[in-house]
Structure 1
Amino acid sequence: MERIFIKDAKNKAESEIFVSGWIHSRRDHGKLIFIDLRDYSGLLQVVFTPNNKELYEKAQKLRSEWVVGVKGRVNERPKGMENSEIETGKIELQANELVIYSESKTPPFAIETDGREINEELRLKYKYLDLRRSRLVKNLSKRHELILFVRNWLSSQGFLEIETPNLTKSTPEGARDYVVPSRLQPGSFYALPQSPQQFKQLLMVAGLERYFQFARCFRDEDTRGDRQPEFTQMDLEMSFVEREDVMELNERLMIELVKKIFPDKKIQKIPFPRISYQEAMKKYKTDRPDLRNDPSTGLGASKEDPELLAFCWVVDFPFFE
């Protein structure tokens, strides 16, 4: 039988299905054994009864994070036993076959929590386990949705997605380069790009006019809270445009993105406010002001509101002083 994703089980009531994944938790209630089975799409409650002695004895061995496959019948949960916190909370799987793919040692930390209480160094050491927790799976899924939306939206605006090289010459930018020795030319080095800046300008010279990519950038900088040695940025370039054209396009993109990908969030003010660099530094002491804290907006803004977004344009940067 073909395996299905757990999230699709909710549409299979009264049907036989086969699912695979990791044991998220196990509970024993009287003579019944319950496990929550997890794949990347969600959780599903699986029930083992003593009616099938061989299957029941096999289920008694199950432990958290074992990898298994289960075949069974999808039933509605008894009234009052539904779980509104998960997508499959109205159903359960009555198991009639169990395949154990892999047993697991006890993980070094809990998988079912959001992970914030765990030492970061330990989480990084076992990143392949840390990525199993639902909060991180949701974040990666949302990142995928966001990238897909931006890619399709920019394509609809006439942009071409073009990948630029990651092995290049050193260029004068704001940080130090990471260098890669050349095996074929001893004593020579490549540099990893701090940004696609020069390449995208060459694309404009080539007449491609509208370009974008999700670029990997590498910057050898001192350790700071708002700096990363490697990161991804959405990069674009346009020909035959003024500053207003670039700002207008990016503003439309952000507004549409929030509506589509984050419908529960609200943007404090549209069009986005514009303030000069001098005003930002004088009033907020930073060129990245958080306008949610500014009572002068008169909008009842509050940094404590997790659904509030406050975009702004900071213009007229002093390039030379």
Structure 2
Amino acid sequence: MKRTNYCGDITASLLGTKQTLCGWVNSYRNHGGVLFIDVRDRSGICQVVVEPSKPFFAEASAVRNEYVVEVTGTVNRRIEGAVNKNMKTGEIEVVAEEFKVLNTSIPLPFDVDKSLSVAEEIRLKYRYLDLRNPHMYANLLLRHRIMQAARRYLDGQGFLEVETPILTRSTPEGARDYLVPSRVHHGEFYALPQSPQMFKQTLMASGIDRYFQLARCFRDEDLRADRQPEHTQIDMEMSFVTIDDIHEVVEGLMKEIFKTAGKDISVPFPKLSYHDAMEKYGSDKPDLRYSLEMKNVNDVFKNTGFKVFKEVLAAGGAIRALRGEKGAAYSRGHLDKLTELAKKNGAKGLVWLKVKDGALEGPSAKFFTPQEMSALKEAVSALDGDIILVGSDANLHTCQTFMGALRKELVKELPRQSEWAFAWITNFPLLEYIPEEDRWDAAHNPFTAPVEEDLPNLEKDPGSVRSYQFDLVLNGNELASGSVRNCRREVQERILALMKHSKEESARRFGMLLNALEAGAPPHGGIGLGLDRITALLAGEESIREVIAFPKTAQAVCPLTDSPNVVDDIQLKELGIEISKE
């Protein structure tokens, strides 16, 4: 290496030694003929002094920001008054004895140290400049350390790291596949894996027992603000395990990862059934840093004269209420916005009431009896100055969902009760009905096993069947999804049949796994943890794009490489593909 040390490692312990540094010019100053050049590399900044008597003074005087330089000199202590206590290298400077410009730089579209304030499209177009920002380097360093911690921990737990194919076949796993045409086999396609699901289950049938992989996953999903076409998950599968066994392994992994990031967390994590999560928080990924819960107030209004609530209850629907603290802060405009938020999430309307001098006030107050208002206040523990939001719908899930969206908004006004709030959400429904297609679909994963005692109802009442599916949530974010899998072909085929896959189609699309299941596959289960989201949370970032070296935009575009883009006609011809003009 040209250098003897990184810039950020030149400290007072090296006083009097000769050092060679390589890096970028972060800034330069001419103070009375003496040059002060801050040289930066990934470790930090070191101040270099170039005296006017040196033969390279003219060359050094010509440098500008982001020039690449090599400097050899002696480490001296800075003079009194020039020490910078905020820098690791703030006590010293390197007095240059040799100086060389290794490369120049054109004027850049933005200053590297200010890149975080630049429009994201520009940052991604010039990502090689954005990544020079120390903040971005720190994010990638954190990601690296998390990955290494995961590898060390899982190796210690007896896991074998196995790579699975990137070019595979198309299988339905909840999103559209990215397809790759075959040049050799015209009209046939590979698919990029949405997850290594079938391969890792096949590894269990192969006797590998414990597998993991830092797996790249590809999903052609509808665009969202914080979604990427490709992401990385810490993927694992285990044989002869229960849900509790999987949870224990993952809790140990999370403790190790958080320790690596300088954070301490407590295990085991609390468990919450899907039913209770939806009933209390209106979400299957509740933010449990806040204690606010939704309340079932069906009984409060069981004899109501209010037409809307009466009709909802007659249809077997749900009425739920939330308490908003510090009600005086809720202006009419704010309440209108909350109403619009509820409607956006499926509500037909929203009842709101303010508690003032012990009574309830609001546009709907006239429809309720004193007994109903008193019981409502008691149900949500409302105090003077609070507001009460009441939602209703003939469909329980719809009511829970829009009230959950309101809870997510209300907690923004509340103090957090903890920094990190983990929870396992368990016993998701196995299936959900798709009315427009007259079929059932996997609520999470088509290979999840049903709860054994619910198996007799699989064909009779599919919607009632619980599964061994579970999610790990943290601060309102889904970090991981996993399950105990089907290890018997017969059960797996019954589930695929409810999804309208015939035996022939199931064999064609899932033959590899189905054949493995009937050849002595052990009971097994696993999980995939989102590396990008874990890193973003630990780095304090809102977007996972801040912890991915080369991400796509929210429109699934890469400004750096200008992709996706057209390809040459000759490439299409080799693949036997013609682009439709329509």
Tell me the CA shift for residue 90 of structure 1: 1.9
Between the aligned partners of 1:273 and 1:96, the Cα distance in structure 2 is 62
Pairing 1:251-262 to 2, within 5 Å after superposition = 251-259=251-259, 261-262=260-261
Partner of 1:316: 427
Between the aligned partners of 1:2 and 1:116, the Cα distance in structure 2 is 31
After TM superposition, the structure 1 stretch with the greater mean CA deviation from structure 2, 270-279 or 1-10, is 1-10
Tell me the CA shift for residue 227 of structure 1: 2.4
Partner of 2:29: 27
Moved over 4 A (4+): 301-305
Partner of 2:329: none
Contact 1:77–1:92 at 8 Å: present in 2 too? yes
Partner of 2:111: 110
TM-score normalised over the length of structure 1: 0.91
Tell me the CA shift for residue 188 of structure 1: 1.1
Tell me the CA shift for residue 186 of structure 1: 1.4
1:291 alignment partner, SS class: coil
Contact 2:290–2:417 at 8 Å: present in 1 too? no
Contact 1:166–1:193 at 8 Å: present in 2 too? yes
Partner of 1:18: 20
Is 1:182 aligned to residue 179 of structure 2? Answer: no
Between the aligned partners of 2:291 and 2:46, the Cα distance in structure 1 is 45
Partner of 1:79: 80
Between the aligned partners of 2:76 and 2:185, the Cα distance in structure 1 is 66
Measured at CA, do residues 100 and 303 of structure 1 come closer, stay the same or move farther in structure 2, by a change above 3 Å? Answer: farther
Q: Deviations over 1:150-169 (max 9, x none)?
A: 10110011001111000000
Between the aligned partners of 1:304 and 1:184, the Cα distance in structure 2 is 59
Q: Tell me the number of residue pairs that the alignment of Structure 1 and Structure 2 aligns.
A: 310
Partner of 1:272: 269
**Equivalent AA in structure 1 for residue 261 of structure 2:** F
Tell me the CA shift for residue 101 of structure 1: 1.0
Q: Deviations over 1:119-169 (max 9, x none)?
A: 111111111111110011111111111111110110011001111000000
**Equivalent AA in structure 2 for residue 239 of structure 1:** S
Measured at CA, do residues 270 and 6 of structure 1 come closer, stay the same or move farther in structure 2, by a change above 3 Å? Answer: same
Between the aligned partners of 2:226 and 2:124, the Cα distance in structure 1 is 19
Is 1:68 aligned to residue 57 of structure 2? Answer: no
Between the aligned partners of 2:264 and 2:289, the Cα distance in structure 1 is 12
Partner of 2:524: none
Contact 1:73–1:95 at 8 Å: present in 2 too? yes
C-alpha RMSD of the superposition: 1.9
When Rg is computed on C-alpha atoms for both structures, the one with the higher figure is: 2
- Greater helix share, 1 or 2? 2
Tell me the CA shift for residue 282 of structure 1: 2.1
Measured at CA, do residues 206 and 65 of structure 1 come closer, stay the same or move farther in structure 2, by a change above 3 Å? Answer: same
2:253 alignment partner, SS class: helix
Tell me the CA shift for residue 47 of structure 1: 1.0
Partner of 1:222: 222
Partner of 1:40: 42
Between the aligned partners of 1:130 and 1:45, the Cα distance in structure 2 is 22
Between the aligned partners of 2:197 and 2:124, the Cα distance in structure 1 is 32
Tell me the CA shift for residue 35 of structure 1: 1.4
**Equivalent AA in structure 1 for residue 242 of structure 2:** E
Tell me the CA shift for residue 293 of structure 1: 2.4
1:94 alignment partner, SS class: strand
Contact 1:266–1:309 at 8 Å: present in 2 too? no
**Equivalent AA in structure 1 for residue 38 of structure 2:** D
Between the aligned partners of 1:23 and 1:303, the Cα distance in structure 2 is 43
Contact 1:9–1:88 at 8 Å: present in 2 too? yes
Tell me the CA shift for residue 295 of structure 1: 6.0
Contact 2:251–2:267 at 8 Å: present in 1 too? no
Partner of 2:279: 282
Between the aligned partners of 2:268 and 2:292, the Cα distance in structure 1 is 18
Q: Deviations over 1:17-45 (max 9, x none)?
A: 11111111112222221111111122111
Between the aligned partners of 2:421 and 2:86, the Cα distance in structure 1 is 30
Measured at CA, do residues 139 and 304 of structure 1 come closer, stay the same or move farther in structure 2, by a change above 3 Å? Answer: farther
**Equivalent AA in structure 2 for residue 124 of structure 1:** L
Measured at CA, do residues 304 and 119 of structure 1 come closer, stay the same or move farther in structure 2, by a change above 3 Å? Answer: farther
Tell me the CA shift for residue 51 of structure 1: 2.7
**Could you say which structure has the greater relative contact order, defined with CA pairs below 8 angstroms and 6 or more residues apart?**
2
